[in-house]
Amino acid sequence: MASLQKKRHAITITLYMDRTYKIRKLGVDKIALLGLFAVSLLIAHMIVVSRSAILLSEPIPLKLSGLSVSMPDGNGWKSNKQWESYENGFYLGSIFTLGTNSTAKARCVYNLSAETFDPQILFTQKADEVKGEIKKIEQIKTDTLIINWTHIENPKNSRIVIFGTARLPNNHRLDIEVQQIVNDPGMAEQVFKKIVDSLSYQENQLI
């Protein structure tokens, strides 16, 4: 009789411990799911903010060129707001950071001596450079410029590149490029179009 009671007691303890373990495991799982959900919400919020509240800087003119453009600045974007010279012209940049990582960038390049003006050649060169595929080609007309642009994707690293080019007088060319790695296909295109909308160009007759 005493042995039977001991066995019943041991079974009761085992069942209690097993149920306690399951309850604790369920609690840990719930906490992990809540943490994952919170992180997902944070990332989604950052993406929504970056897309719905893309702020642009004040117009940044390039001296003696007749060109000015605004770049993304604020809400994660940071621009130096100053054209920098390089061997064949000038460039203007802006970078988007999520946490401590740079996940997108935008730049305008003013080429003083363009090698080619054929958009198809330029698009193919850019696709080869980023090891991506051309998904579409379109055109935007402003009051004074025609911008041909393409959407390029590299599925291996989730990179999206929007690249546009416009022919300028005196053998000059303007290139606009937006690259991103964040998994938000619409962000790069939206930034690109905002930059294009901000473009102002008036040919300088003195050049």
Position 158 scores a pLDDT of 83
Position 1 scores a pLDDT of 57
Which tokens belong to 79?
């621009």
Going from N- to C-terminal start, the domains of the chain cover 1-52, 55-201
With contact defined as beta carbons under 8 Å apart, do 200 and 57 qualify?
no
Which tokens belong to 83?
């054209």
pLDDT in tens, 29-45: 667 676 666 655 555 54
pLDDT in tens, 56-105: 999 999 999 999 999 999 988 999 999 999 889 999 999 998 776 778 99
Q: What class does CATH assign to 55-201?
A: alpha beta
Percent of the chain past pLDDT 90, that is, above it, reads 58
Q: How confident is the model at residue 126 (pLDDT cuts 50, 70, 90)?
A: very high
